[in-house]
Amino acid sequence: MPRPDLLQRLDVQTAEREHARLHRRLRTIEHADGPWLESGSRRLLSFCSNDYLGLAQHPTLVAALTRAAGEQGVGSTSAHLICGHRAVHAQLEEALAAWTGRERALLFSTGYMANLGVLQALLARGDVCVQDKLDHACLLDGARLSGAELKRYPHADVAAAARQLAAHPEAAALLATDGVFSMDGDIAPLRALAQLCARERATLMVDDAHGLGVLGDDGAGSLSAAKLGQHEVPLLMGTLGKALGCSGAFVAGPAALIEGLIQFARPYIYTTAIPPALAAAALESVRLAQTETWRRDKLAALVARFRAGAAQLGLPLMDSASAIQPLLLRSADAALAAAQALEHRGLLVVAIRPPTVPVGQARLRITLSAAHEEAHVDALLDALADLAQGSRVAGHV
C-alpha cells in the first residue's frame, strides 16, 4: 500500500470543509478608523473586534510606540534570556503585576504561547488537568502537549469538576478555565471553582483574555470583579491584544511561578521577545485602562442598550454581561446568511460556525467597544429587526 501524501490529504480535508459550507476565508482590511473598517473598497461598521476599550488607535499609544521604535528600533532581536529583555519589558511586567495584584508577571509573545508554556512547564504524565468544555483551544492543546490526563467538565458545572478531581485524589491537579468565555461571553463561576480547588488541593488557572481591562472596578479583570487574589488563583493569564489594543500576553502570579516559567516554559525560552516599541505602547495602555474609567462605563452602557433592544425584538441573544454578545442562530447556513445580509447593510458581524463551536450552535458573535456610539448600536438593532421580519435570523425572531 503506498504511503499517503500529506499535502493531498490536507487538500481533500479542505475540499470537504468547503463542500460543507464551513470553509474559512481571509478578509483583508485596508484601513481602520475606530470601529469603521475599509475592506474591498467598502466602509463597514465593525461589530467583531476585540478592541473593547477602543484603545488600539489611541494617539498616546501610537506616540509611545513611535518614540520607542525611534530609540530602540523595531525588533527586540533576541529571546528574553539572550539580549531581548529591554528595560521597557521589565517596566511593563511590573505594571501588570501591580495592576492584577500579583507578585510578578512574565511577558509572552501571544496568549496561545503563554498557555502552552504554563501547562507544559507545570504538568507531567500522571498529573490531571481539569477544564471547562468551552475553554479556549490553547488551554486544551497545552494540556495535551504536557502529557497529563485531560478531563473536561460540562460548561460551568462546578459539581462535575469536583467529581473529576475527586476521581484522581493522588494526582497533582490543575483546574484551568477561561474567565470570560470567548464564544459565549459569559463568566466562569470563579469563586466556586476557587473554593473547590482549595478543598481538593488543586491549582487554579484562569485565562482572562476577554476580562482584562473590561471587568472589575479597576479593570483588572474577572478575578478582580470576583474579589479573588493570588492566594485563591495562583495562575492568571492575560492578553495585551484585546481590551489593551496592543499585542502579546503575560502570566502573573507568585514569584516562584514566574521564576519556574523562566526556567522551563519552552514557548518563553525559545521565542523572540515582543518588540520593545510594542511593550512601550502596552505600558501606556495599562495606564489608560486604569485611569480612563469612563471607557468601561460607556461600554457597559452600550451593552445594556443592545441587550434591551434585542430583548424588545425577541432576538435569541445568549446570556452575557460582557462585551461579547452572541446571537444564537444554531444553523451554520442561517448564521452565514445573516452575516452576509448585515454586511450588505454596511455592518461587519462574523458568523461563528463549526468546528469553532459545536454543530447546532452557530451564531453571530457581536462584540461591542467603547469606540462605538449609541447610534451605531441602534443601527445594528434596526438591521437585525429587518432581518427578523424577513425570517432570516433563525426563523424564530
CATH of 31-53+293-389, one of 3.40.630.20, 1.10.540.10, 3.90.1150.10, 3.40.50.970: 3.90.1150.10
pLDDT in tens, the chain (397 residues): 899 999 999 999 999 999 988 888 899 999 999 999 999 889 999 999 999 999 999 999 999 999 999 999 999 999 999 999 999 999 999 999 999 999 999 999 999 999 999 999 999 999 999 999 999 999 999 999 999 999 999 999 999 999 999 999 999 999 999 999 999 999 999 999 999 999 999 999 999 999 999 999 899 999 999 999 999 999 999 999 999 999 999 999 999 999 999 999 999 999 999 999 999 999 999 999 999 999 999 999 999 999 999 999 999 999 999 999 999 999 999 999 999 999 999 999 999 999 999 999 999 999 999 999 999 999 999 999 999 887 655 444 4
Could you say which of 210, 298, 372, 376 is catalytic? 210
> Which residues have CB under 8 Å from 103's CB, separation 6+?
97, 230, 253, 254, 255, 258
User: What's residue 394's pLDDT?
Assistant: 44
Domain with CATH 3.90.1150.10 in the chain: 31-53+293-389
Cα gap 1→17, rounded to integer Å: 27
Task: Tell me how far apart the terminal alpha carbons of the chain are, to the nearest angstrom.
Answer: 54
Tell me which residue has cell 478608523.
Answer: 33
Q: Is 396 annotated as a binding residue?
A: no
User: What's residue 391's pLDDT?
Assistant: 60
Cα gap 48→190, rounded to integer Å: 26
Cα gap 52→242, rounded to integer Å: 7
Could you say which of 58, 80, 151, 242 is catalytic? 242
Cα gap 36→255, rounded to integer Å: 42
| CATH top-level class of 59-291 | alpha beta
Q: Is 344 annotated as a binding residue?
A: no
Cα separation values, 17 from 5, 20, 78, Å:
19, 5, 39
Q: Are strands 36-39 and 31-33 parallel, antiparallel or unpaired?
A: antiparallel
Is 227 part of the annotated catalytic residue set? Answer: no
Q: Is 210 annotated as a binding residue?
A: yes
Q: Is 52 annotated as a binding residue?
A: no
Q: Is 291 annotated as a binding residue?
A: no
Supply φ then ψ for residue 91, to 5 degrees: -65, -40
81-106 burial code (b ≥16 CB/10 A, e <16)? eeebbbebbeebbebbbebbebebbb
Nearest one of 289, 354, 300 to 23, comparing CA atoms: 354
Is 344 part of the annotated catalytic residue set? Answer: no
Q: Is 60 annotated as a binding residue?
A: no
Is 39 part of the annotated catalytic residue set? Answer: no
Cα gap 243→240, rounded to integer Å: 7
Could you say which of 46, 49, 76, 182 is catalytic? 182
Angle, helices 276-291 vs 59-72, to 10°: value is: 150
Angle, helices 374-389 vs 332-344, to 10°: value is: 120
Q: Examine residue 355 and say whether the peptide bond preceding it is cis (omega within 30 degrees of 0).
A: yes
Tell me which residue has cell 489611541.
Answer: 58
Domain with CATH 3.40.640.10 in the chain: 59-291
Q: Where are the beta strands (DSSP E) in 242-384?
A: 249-253, 324-330, 347-348, 350-352, 362-367
User: What's residue 373's pLDDT?
Assistant: 98
